[in-house]
């Protein structure tokens, strides 16, 4: 199982990004080992379509769960088609590792 987290930086100590399509990085985390891959999000620079493009990216990275602040309608549609579980409502004041831990402890 892989968990994708929207992040403002490339480490587990970075703060969560509340934006999905326009976050700076996705951290693709393996919760067993807490190892992660940081993927920079090209969607950050896009005129439009950033949300769906970001969805495409994490789908192709094999994520099954997404932790983020808020996901737009279009991205949500793509994520649901691929069976990714969306857990939203995370605030931009917590660290990525705390978001992952809080999800795992639920």
Partner 1 sequence: MIISIASGKGGTGKTTVAASLASVIPESVYIDCDVEEPNGHLLLKPEFISEESAKKLLPQIDQEKCTFCGKCVEVCEFNALINLKFEIVLFDEMCHGCGACIYFCPSKVITERAKEIGVVRVGITSAKIFFADGVLNIGEVAATPLIKEVKKNIIEGKINILDSPPGTSCCMVETVKDSDFCILVTESTPFGLNDLKLAIDVLKTIGVSFGVVINKYDPSFTEMENYLNENSIEILLKIPFERRYAESYSEGILPLDKYPELKNAFRVLHKRILEKVEIVNAG
Partner 2 sequence: MPDKSYKQIVILSGKGGTGKTTLSAAFAGLIKKKVVIDCDVDAANLHLVLKPEIINSYDFSGGKKAIIDPDKCVECGTCETVCRFDAINNFTIDQLSCEGCGFCFRVCSSDAIKFDPSKSGSYFECELPDGSKFFYAKLFSGDGNSGKLVSEIKRKALENISSDIEWVIVDGPPGIGCPVNASVAVADYVVIVTEPTVSGIHDLKRLIELLKTFKIRSGIVINKYDLNETIATQIFNYAENEKTPIIGSIPFDPEFMKALINGENVLEVNKNIQEEILTILRQLELQVEISVN
19: nearest Cα among 50, 49, 62: 50
How many Cα atoms sit within 13 Å of 12 on the Cβ side? 15
Q: Among 9, 10, 31, 92, which residue interacts with partner 2 (rule: CB under 8 A)?
A: 92
Of 48, 60, 61, 77, the one binding partner 2 by CB under 8 A: 48
- Residue 77 touches which of partner 1, partner 2, none (CB < 5 to 8 A by kind)? partner 1
* Residue 18 in the binding site for partner 2 (CB under 8 A): yes
Give the whole-angstrom CA distance, residue 59 versus residue 82: 7
Which residue in 87, 103, 106 sits closest to 95, CA to CA?
103
Residue 33 Cβ, how far from partner 2 at the closest point, in Å?
Answer: 25
Rounded distance, CA 4 to CA 10, Å? 13
Contacting residue, 2, 64, 69, 101, with partner 2 by CB under 8 A: 69
41 binds partner 2 (CB under 8 A): no
Residue 83 backbone class (left: φ over 0; alpha: ψ -120 to 50; beta: rest): left
- Identify what 105 binds: partner 1, partner 2, none; CB under 5 to 8 Å per kind: none
| Contacting positions for partner 1 (CB under 8 A) | 46-50, 52-53, 55-56, 59-60, 74, 77-78, 81-82
């Amino acid at each position: 199982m892989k968990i994708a987290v929207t992040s403002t930086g490339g480490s587990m100590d970075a703060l969560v990004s509340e934006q999905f399509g326009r976050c700076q990085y996705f951290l693709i985390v393996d919760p067993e080992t807490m190892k992660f891959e940081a993927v920079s999000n090209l969607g950050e620079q896009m005129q439009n379509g950033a949300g769906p493009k970001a969805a495409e990216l994490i789908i192709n990275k094999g994520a099954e769960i997404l932790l983020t602040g808020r996901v737009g309608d279009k991205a949500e549609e793509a994520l649901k088609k691929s069976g990714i579980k969306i857990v939203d409502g995370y605030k931009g004041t917590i660290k990525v590792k705390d978001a992952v831990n809080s999800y795992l402890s639920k």
